[in-house]
Amino acid sequence: MNAALAAQAVQLAAFIVAIAIVSWQSYVDRKGREEFNTYLLGLAYTFVIASIFSLFFSHAYSILIIFGISLVSCSSVYQYLRHRAIFSISILYLLAAISYFYAAASVSGIMVVAQSISIGLIAAFIAKSHTPRVVKPARSNKRVEIRRDVFEMVMGAVLLLIIVLVQYYSAIYIVVLLSLLGYSISGLVPHKSSMYAFLNSLERTGAFFGEGAIYLAVGTLLMVSFIHARPLLLTGIIVLFFSDSLATIVGVTYGKHKLAYNHGKSVEGALVFWISASILAYPFIGLYSLLIGAILSIVESASGPRTVDDNISIAIAMIAIYAIAIFA
């Protein structure tokens, strides 16, 4: 069996498994096992998204790596909520995979691993968003909002410095590891430690511990792994860590006029998002920052209780902008 035929066989098998999982998921749903039902749905999404992504690869070995890492990544979300020991093992596996490709001096390998991790996480969060009991964390505590957004801006400044000052290949490796660390730290920090107390002080009412760090890390990982143009990547980091944070601070502090299409967001916050994105991204992409800032402001302000978290929706929108720029 040649490589192309083997790759097609793996992709076909993945689609069949996805259909089987969705069918089984319907059975589990009738039995009332909501958590496991959501996990199965996440696996099904992972198989479908990974199958589509793997169409860009012809080597069966690469495709197996994509499916393996994607499934481990998706499973880690479910494991985090239930078994922290297994969660830790899965994170170590992902770290080992990234480090292997870095040692092999393969930046493309690191990108594929990071993309595969992103696929699994996105699939899990999409499945989670379909859970009937999902409750959007409240933004009622202004002090918490300001504290968490200031912390995000500090982290954003660190990432920007790494991307600008460090050799690009090494910078990508470092940012991917930091993103994975941000995703995993909430599951590895002891509950009685001062670090746990600090991270918990940044969470909104109704959020599970580490939720903010997880979504921010996943959004960062998505952009770093799929956006290969430094100016657009820097723009994405700026928007995700600075514009979104500034919009939230202004929105919860001074927001008086609610958006017609989303009463959970304010006109003031959306304007600050657009203005800050336009100014901060101008040195990297010029006047295009006005247009991109406007698009991302709409994407962020449209996020709500039944949509994907705005950290992830912003990242996906930036990837779409990058794809349009590539093919235009």
Whether residues 206 and 114 fall in one domain? no
Q: Could you give the CA distance from residue 72 to residue 88 in angstroms, rounded to a whole number?
A: 11
Q: Are 175 and 119 within one domain?
A: no
Residues 147 and 219 in one domain: yes
Residues 58 and 158 in one domain: no
* Domain match, 148 and 278 both: yes
Dihedrals φ, ψ of 205, to 5°? Answer: -65, 130
Query: Could you list the residue range(s) of the whole structural domain that residue 247 is in?
Result: 142-327
pTM equals: 0.81
Q: Over the stretch 114-173, which tens digit does the pLDDT of each residue have?
A: 888 888 888 888 887 766 554 555 555 677 778 888 888 998 999 999 988 888 778 888
CB 175 within 8 Å of CB 220? yes
- Same structural domain for residues 168 and 259? yes
Boundary of a domain, candidates 86, 101, 129: 129
| Amino acid identity for residue 74 in this structure | C
Residue at a domain's end among 129, 161, 187: 129
Asked if residue 182 is part of any domain, the answer here is yes
Instruction: Tell me, yes or no, whether 72 and 186 share the same domain.
Output: no
Which pLDDT value is given to residue 296?
Answer: 93
Task: State the sign of the Cα–Cα–Cα–Cα dihedral 180, 212, 320, 230.
Answer: negative
Two structure tokens written together for 149? 């957004």
Whether 135 maps to a domain, the answer reads no
Look at residue 97 and tell me if it is in a domain: yes
Same-domain check for residues 155 and 101: no
Return the pLDDT at 225.
Answer: 86
pLDDT of residue 281: 94
90 and 172 part of one domain: no
Number of separate domains in the chain = 2
- Flag whether 108 is in a domain: yes
Q: Which residues does the chain have with pLDDT short of 70? A: 1-34, 81-85, 88, 105, 130-141, 186-187, 204-210, 261, 263, 304-308, 328
Residues 167 and 273 in one domain: yes
pLDDT value at residue 291? 93
pLDDT of residue 5: 62
Q: Looking at the structure, tell me whether residues 66 and 98 fall in a common domain.
A: yes
Long-range residue pairs from 231-236, CB within 8 A, at least 24 positions apart, any chain:
231/284, 231/285, 232/284, 232/285, 232/318, 232/321, 232/322, 232/325, 233/163, 234/160, 234/163, 234/164, 234/281, 234/284, 235/277, 235/281, 235/284, 235/285, 235/289, 235/292, 235/318, 236/314, 236/315, 236/318
| Contact indicator for 179, 224 with CB cutoff of 8 Å | yes
Residue 196 and residue 169 share a domain: yes
pLDDT of res. 304: 64
